[in-house]
Amino acid sequence: MEQYTVYFNPSDYPGEYVVRRFVISGMNILQDKDIWARRQTLEEARKTIPRTQALMARHPSDDPVIVEVWI
């Protein structure tokens, strides 16, 4: 299963939206070494996420730089 997390203003890319892909296999969650996408707007970042993914509600305990998660 794949998960895509959209961040805004992470420490490694300040002022940008960043999408990172994670692969979930059993009890393991593996992050890609490279970022999936860097964009200037949330709308542009969302366009990089495969259409097969579903938006999950943001959890209150998520890091403040996490905008949304797609599974």
Amino acid at 40: Q
How is residue 37 written in tokens? 């996408």
pTM score, whole prediction: 0.87
Average pLDDT over residues 5-33: 88
Residue 5 has what pLDDT? 95
User: Contact, 47 vs 19, CB < 8 A?
Assistant: no
Judged against a pLDDT cut of 80, whether residue 41 lies above it is answered with: yes
| Distance between CA atoms of residues 9 and 7, nearest Å | 7
| Distance between CA atoms of residues 43 and 11, nearest Å | 21
Average pLDDT over residues 12-30: 89
Q: What is the pLDDT of residues 46-64, one digit of tens each?
A: 999 999 999 998 899 999 9
Q: Where are the domains of the chain?
A: 2-70
Residue 23 has what pLDDT? 87
Residue 30 has what pLDDT? 73
